[in-house]
Structure 1
Amino acid sequence: MLLLLLLLMIKKNIFFKNSCNNFTILDIKSFVRSLAMVYTIDSINEQNLLPGIRLGYIICSTCASASKAIQATLGFLSKNGTLPISCSYEDYLPMVKAVIGAGYSEESIAVANILSRFLMPQVSYASSAPDLSDKLRYPSFFRTVPSDVYQTEALAQLFSSLNWNWVGIISSDDSYGVSALRSFLSNAENVDICVEYQLTISSFVGTPNSNLEITKAVQTIKSSTAEVIVVFMKAELVIQLLTEVINQNISKTWIASDAWSTATIVAQINDFYKVGNIFGFSFKNGIIDGFEDYLRNLTPGPNAVNAFIEEYKRSRFGCNENLTNSSECMSSSSGCAQSSSIQIASPEVCKIKNPLEANDDFLVENLDHGGTYSTYLAVKAIAEALQSLLKCNGTVCNQSLNFPPWKVNKFFTKYTFIHCELMHIFEQCSEPCKAGTVKNISKISCCFTCVPCPAGYFSDSDDMQKCTPCQSYQWSEIGSAFCLNKTIEYLHWEDGFSIVLLSFTALGFLSLLFTTVVFTLHFKTPAVKVAGGDMSYIIVISLMLSFGSVFCFFGNPSYYSCSIQQPLYGISFALCVSCILVKSLRIFLAFRWKFENGKKLFKPYFIITFFTGLQGLLCCMWLTMKSPSVQMQYFETSILIQCDHGSSEAFGIMLGYIGFLALICFLLAYKSRKLPRRYKESSFITFSMLVYLFVWVSFIPIYIKNVGVYQPAIQVAAILASNYAVTCCHLMPKCYIILFKNDCNNPESYIKSIRDSIRLHGTKLSVILTNNAEKAITSTPGNLDKYANKLRRRHKSC
């Protein structure tokens, strides 16, 4: 039950209690607020703030009804029981000069519509509806609490800061509920708060329509996903709502507006704790000096009629039949049925002889500091306005008390206070999206599902709208909250495969050095002559350069290594094959053609220079027009660094050119394959070139197919195979003869082998016996038999 408080300029204080049929229990909160007004008025009178004048008051109960409030208002505006009808009430002089109240906005609006006609000042201690701020409609209305515009804006900002974007709203259909709902929805939309439902309940408490609406509202709450519910209703409706919530075993988080956030009667509901968490907005709290002692020693006061104090004391300290028969309920917490009088009764109630003289700390324990302080401010504001209007000093007031109420308005000081407690509670339509996921928004902007970031993307905080791509040098798995640096890959020196290839390269170098030493020590022997003489050194140097090109394929590629590796191999091996071509051509001319006929064609060093020069020219053009470079290939978790050939066509032509020279060598050697047993150069040339052609024909598809870190290793393997084919077929056999067949390493042995071949085949052959002289050996098989047999006996072991 709320109270309409009326302030009068009289010497007598009166409490008038209306009949409230809907309530059988005294509203402690409203009762204490009325006591705060009485205490403040008495304090002002004692302090002599208005010298020679005492403030008086009439207190009427509105029964939480606008019609009751209007009835009381018309009563104190009248004179001698009547209210005159006039076009202007500028000079109308009612006994009442100002009104304090009411508590609920619905009642204050009803009263303000009447008082504004008379321009009588009205100060509310709790009404916060935004409509009351309209000075055109309510020019004489004031309040010591802020408008709901500020409360709903604070609610929206609070929800936004705590990421609450999925809520339900319940409001009453009166002016307070409608205006608060409208204001909150406007503010919520500005900060992207979504409302799952908004329910309106009739403000007439206890009616069948109200009960049905509350039942439907609770069913909606039970089936909803919103965990936070904002309630803009007066305390009496909230009691009905939460009682049904407890019966349905529902636990939510409730946001209480100022209308019921500090209502004691709400907290007295049985099993109140079961409703869940309740957080409320309340107005500025303050301590009224001496007020708690006043409540502990409460009396109506001299010459005062206070029906409310009498009702309270009888309810608190009066023993009656209900209390006697229900003593077990008084000491029990099991929730047995209790009458309204028992709910505020003292445990010692039936031991007290005179209830009207009894007191305890019950009112202090239920003190509503916010409401009582606002009431205190309302009384103080009116008193200060009167002090200014009546020009009061410390001893006397210089103006007559016979003034119309509207003159008080311009002397009001506005009081605006707001106070709220912050909560830490999560409330959204959907669970928050953790780092590594992003929101997939549904049709409702506040509802979403969490989708993991794809590979190569990340989200490093909660509730991100989209994934952030990793940098080109980074990678991430599906659903990652961060990116990892990609592994840099190239053919490392310490790789196992690299170590094997480098070992064979080193072995090749050693074999070439060994060959050089052997050939140098036995340079004038036929074996060295047959190997090519001076030309054998060119072959060794070219093979060393070819082996050297291998080192350019390992390690972190650079511009210089990429530019050198292919030309160095291409030119060096072209030089090697050119030397072998010269040897093939010499054998072919010597054994398959009359040497005198081909002598003009046989220009060894010109041939070597010409064919090697063509390869060098090709490589120079390659480097000039489209030089190789360092290439970075980005894979999912790694970055492959390799050499880009620049021009695949030039790379193919370079290899094809060497292959062309090798094919000519092979054909010339194959034509000369039936040579004397001692002279097997054509067979070695045939085999080495066949190996080369087979290796590089096989290399092309394997190289193209295997794109990765080991692609350079494939070419290295092909280079080593080619080098070893030449080394093993052209140089090692000669070293074997020099070192292990020394008795066969002489001119006679080679001549014998040639003559044996002539006798067997009956052919005429020309052979080059030395590097700088040719000698034709022509004879018939019969004449050579005797000489051949002699040589065979001499060189039986050869």
Structure 2
Amino acid sequence: MQSLSELALKYGICVAYQATIPPYSEDTRAQMLQMIKGIVQTKVNVVVVFSSNRKASGFFSVVIEQNITNKVWIGSEDWSISTLVSRLPQIKSIGSVMGISVKAAEMPGFAEFEARSIESENSKANEELVCQSETFSEILTCYQLLQQIKQVNISIHDAPLYFDNNGDPPTGYDIIAWDWVNDSVSYKVIGSYSPNPETLLINRDLINWNAKDKKTVPISACSAECWKGYRRVLTGAHVCCFNCEACPAGTYVDINDLVNCKPCEKDQWSLPESDACLNRTVEYLPWNDITSAVLIITSVMTLLLTVATAGLFLLNLNTPVVKSASGKTCLLMLSSLACASCSVFGHFGVPTAVGCAFLRELFCLSFTICLSCIAVRSFQIVCIFKMSGKLPKAYEFWTKNNGPHVFILVSSAIGFFISLLRIVLDRPVPIENYSISPDKIVLECSGTQSVGSAMETGYMGLLSFLCFAFSYMGKDLPANYNEAKCVTFSLLLYLVSWLGFYTTYAVYKGKYTPAFNIVAVLASVLGMLGGYFMPKCYIILLKPQLNTAAHFQNCIQMYTTKKSDH
């Protein structure tokens, strides 16, 4: 029984109940009734009975008495073809019976020998038998006899006769089924088992099940099979009794392990109720995407516009408009804006270590230089018109010691130090983000919301505030020098673009996150070009009469007169 249970478990067959059949008597009747109750409670339809024919006869008598019907009984060779069992009254009601029997072999003369009457009291025969046994035992011990038997391999009537390693003759078995015709039973051979070579043959067409439909194979299952994507939740001690539970998303049911929901690999995903995992889609902003094409064209146009503006200012470097805008410092501003425009190209395609580490820093440093130039230019104008008279020594110290250049250098150096510190301590690197979507792997740069990024953004915010403050202080200066509206527009566009980016990043992370970053960069650059430089380009190209020293002197005189009147 232990071997049968182990083999059944190996092949996924559940043994729901086991018991030992006792010899039938009034004392063991209660034990048999308990066994039959166990069979009924487990709701099995197939019962394997290893028993002698006498014990089986007593057992099936109780089965018939308890009206246990429509089951399949599989018997061992001792009772499966025993008339002691098959002739029990109403035995047909128990259901279908199948079993095994030792293969019959031709043995000429055995019938005649069996027909002879051998009297047991023939002492002479007994003495001869004992004498032969003792004589044979003197020749071979039991162990030696077993070894000799294992070597026997002969042929009798064209049939091989040999013994296996256990000393047993592996003659094979016939698979039989009880076949009922009215109330008469016959033992029909429906198949066979041969040990050498090991083969099992069963002809299903020969089986007539003892049921209404004689050709429908009975089913014995504690629970119906679970659907795909559902795992088995055992409801008791037996592996065949279970409920079904759907596996959640990100897991699947392996055909080799129907009890557990196995998690998918890191680069895979699955829907609920899945029996397999799918590979995640790798996402990034490719160069050939339509969004990328639009942004690349916009970036190139922005870069060309910046270069054209720089060329225009270079050609008109000595004109009053360019000088009032800060002269050669404008070329530094435009160069930094050009570098900022170039930084967007690192956001396309698969993120790289160089792109993640330096292109973001390129924008931050470039825009820091631009903001520093605007801040110092606004401060310079305020000093000329408002502080030179009140603090002449301070103004003289500022001009003699190249205050504007020192401020730009120091301010830019601080921005460079912050960027360098971030690269050393908190360097952005390419990462595979698995948490954004269950079915996607998003390739991106790390550190978008890191401490280093916050320091860079905070420092540029401080410079923006200084630009606005100094520009606001000069809101009542001559129109040629009043940059309050232009600077405010540029800074407002810069602020809105980056607030929009971080707000979007808080609610959306995916393939087009770099696109939002590019939009913020281009909006910042175009804001500076449109707010600060375009009005001056307009005067240079379309209003040359306003780009004269006389016009500027006239504006200053009008401002002085107006101020003296107040």
TM-score, structure 2 as length reference: 0.71
Matched, 1:558 2:352: yes
- Seen in structure 2, the aligned counterparts of structure 1 residues 235 and 587 have a Cα distance that, compared at 3 Å, is same
Partner residue, 1:137: none
Match of 1:671 among 466, 470, 473: 473
How many residues align? The count is: 481
Other-structure match for 1:456: 250
Match of 2:48 among 230, 234, 251: 230
- Give the residue type in structure 1 aligned to 2:341: F
The CA distance in 2 between the partners of 1:435 and 1:496, in whole Å, is 40
Closer, same or farther: CA 643–263 of 1 in aligned 2, 3 Å? same
CA contact (8 A) 2:324 2:480 kept: no
Q: Secondary structure at the match of 2:13?
A: coil
Question: Aligned-pair distance for 1:513?
Answer: 2.5
Is the CA contact (8 Å cut-off) linking 1:486 and 1:639 kept in structure 2? yes
Q: Counterpart in 2 of 1:485?
A: 279
Aligned partner (choices 240, 248, 251) of residue 70 of structure 2: 251
Letter in 1 for 2:358: I
Q: Secondary structure at the match of 2:98?
A: strand
Deviations 1:232-261 (A, max 9, x none): 252796599499769958322211111222
Equivalent in the alignment of 2:543: 741
Q: Does 1:164 align with 2:13?
A: yes
TM-aligned CA deviation for residue 722 of structure 1: 1.8
CA contact (8 A) 1:675 1:682 kept: no
- Do residues 612 (structure 1) and 430 (structure 2) align? no
After TM superposition, give the deviation of residue 544 of structure 1 in Å: 0.8
**1:166–1:429 Cα contact (<8 Å) kept:** no
Does residue 655 (structure 1) correspond to residue 457 (structure 2)? The answer is yes
Task: Say whether the 8 Å CA contact 1:243–1:269 is kept in structure 2.
Answer: no
Match of 1:723 in 2: 525
**Partner of 1:250: helix, strand, or coil?**
coil
Shift of 1:705: 5.4
What is the CA–CA distance in structure 1 between the aligned matches of 2:549 and 2:473, rounded to whole Å? Answer: 25
> What runs of 5+ residues in structure 1 fail to find an aligned partner?
1-151, 175-200, 295-299, 307-378, 380-399, 765-798
C-alpha distance in 1 between matches for 2:333 and 2:461:
17
Asked whether 1:505 is paired with 2:299, we answer yes
Q: Report the alpha carbon displacement of residue 570 of structure 1 after superposing the two structures with TM.
A: 1.4
Kindly provide the amino acid, as one letter, of the partner of residue 601 in structure 1. W
Residue 542, structure 1, aligned to residue 342, structure 2: no
Shift of 1:213: 9.5
Deviations 1:556-576 (A, max 9, x none): 222211110232111111111
Q: Provide Cα deviations, 1:416-443, integer angstroms capped at 9, x if missing partner.
A: 3453446899856445667744443444
Q: How far did residue 263 of structure 1 move? A: 3.7
The aligned amino acid for 1:165 is C
Deviation at 1:657, TM superposition (A): 1.7
What does 1:690-769 align with in structure 2 at a 5 Å threshold? Answer: 690-696=492-498, 703-704=505-506, 706-762=508-564
- How much has 1:172 moved relative to structure 2? 5.2
Q: Which amino acid letter does the alignment assign opposite residue 722 of structure 1?
A: S
CA distance in 2, matches of 1:750, 1:605: 25
| Greater alpha carbon shift after TM alignment, 164-173 vs 544-553 | 164-173
Is the CA contact 1:488–1:641 (under 8 Å) kept in the aligned structure 2? Answer: yes
After TM superposition, the structure 1 stretch with the greater mean CA deviation from structure 2, 152-161 or 232-241, is 232-241
What is the Cα deviation at residue 761 of structure 1?
4.1
Please state how far the C-alpha of 1:763 moved relative to its aligned partner.
6.5
Structure 1 equivalent of residue 142 of structure 2: none
Contact kept, 8 Å, 2:14 with 2:238, in 1: the verdict is no
* CA distance 1:168–1:580, shift in 2 (3 Å): closer
- 1:670 to partner: Cα distance: 0.8
Aligned CA distance change for structure 1 residues 590 and 164 (closer, same or farther; 3 Å):
same
CA offset at residue 289 of structure 1? 4.7
Residue equivalent to 1:66: none
Provide the C-alpha distance between the structure 2 equivalents of 1:752 and 1:245, rounded to a whole number of angstroms: 127
Q: Which residue of 1 aligns with 2:131?
A: 407
Q: Is the 8 A contact 1:662 1:692 kept in 2?
A: no
SS of the residue corresponding to residue 298 of structure 2 reads helix
SS at structure 2 position matched to 1:641: strand
Is 1:573 the equivalent of 2:379?
A: no
Q: Which residue of 2 aligns with 1:310?
A: none
Per the TM alignment, residue 168 of structure 1 is displaced from its structure 2 partner at its CA by 4.9
Of the three residues 218, 225, 233, the one matched with 1:440 is: 233
Corresponding letter in the other structure for 2:127: F
Shift of 1:536: 1.9
Q: For residue 163 of structure 1, give the secondary structure of its aligned residue in structure 2.
A: coil
Identical aligned residues as a percent: 28
Partner of 1:356: none
- Pick one of 324, 342, 348 that aligns with 1:530: 324
Q: Distance in 2 between matches of 1:505 and 1:273?
A: 91
Please say if residues 168 and 228 of structure 1, whose CA atoms lie closer than 8 Å, have aligned partners that are also in contact: no
- Quick one: which amino acid aligns to residue 740 of structure 1? L
Measure, in 2, the Cα distance between the counterparts of 1:202 and 1:169: 20
2:382 is aligned, of 569, 580, 588, to: 588
Alignment of 1:362-377 (within 5 A): none
Match of 2:79 among 260, 272, 282: 260
Name the amino acid aligned to 1:600: F
Q: Which has the larger radius of gyration?
A: 1
Verify the 8 A CA contact 1:458 1:482 in the aligned structure 2: yes
Letter aligned with residue 489 of structure 1? E
Aligned equivalents of 1:689 and 1:646: distance in 2?
A: 22
Change (3 A) 1:214 1:665: closer
Distance 2:387 2:63 in 1: 121
* In structure 2, distance between residues paired with 1:402 and 1:698: 112
Q: 2:92, 2:552 → 1: CA distance? A: 118
Distance 1:277 1:568, change over 3 A: farther
Q: Once the 2 structures are TM-superposed, how far is the Cα of residue 592 of structure 1 from its aligned partner?
A: 2.3
Q: 1:664 offset after TM fit, Å?
A: 1.5
Deviation at 1:588, TM superposition (A): 1.1
Aligned residue number for residue 623 of structure 1: 423
Query: What's the counterpart of residue 471 of structure 1?
Result: 265
Partners of 2:543 and 2:60 lie apart in 1 by 117
> CA-atom RMSD, angstroms?
4.3
Residue aligned with 1:406, SS = helix
The one-letter code of the counterpart of 2:369 is L
Q: Which amino acid aligns with 1:470?
A: C
Cα pair distance change 1:473/1:589, threshold 3 Å: same
Q: Secondary structure at the match of 2:557?
A: helix
Shift of 1:279: 3.0
Q: Which residue matches 1:416?
A: 168
2:451 and 2:31 map into 1 onto residues whose CA distance is 85
Deviates more, 1:580-589 or 1:245-254: 245-254
CA distance in structure 1 between the partners assigned to 2:463 and 2:126 by the alignment: 132
Contact 1:171-1:233 at 8 Å conserved across structures: no
> Residue type of the partner of 1:477?
L
**Deviation by residue 1:402-457 (Cα, 9 ceiling, x = unmatched):** 83543344559887345344689985644566774444344424444344444333
The 10-residue stretch of structure 1 (424-433 or 491-500) with the greater mean CA deviation from structure 2: 424-433
After alignment, is 550-559 or 747-756 more displaced?
747-756
Alpha-carbon shift at residue 702 of structure 1 (Å): 5.2
Structure 1 residue 710: deviation in Å? 4.6
Q: CA deviation at 1:506?
A: 2.6
Partner of 2:397: 600
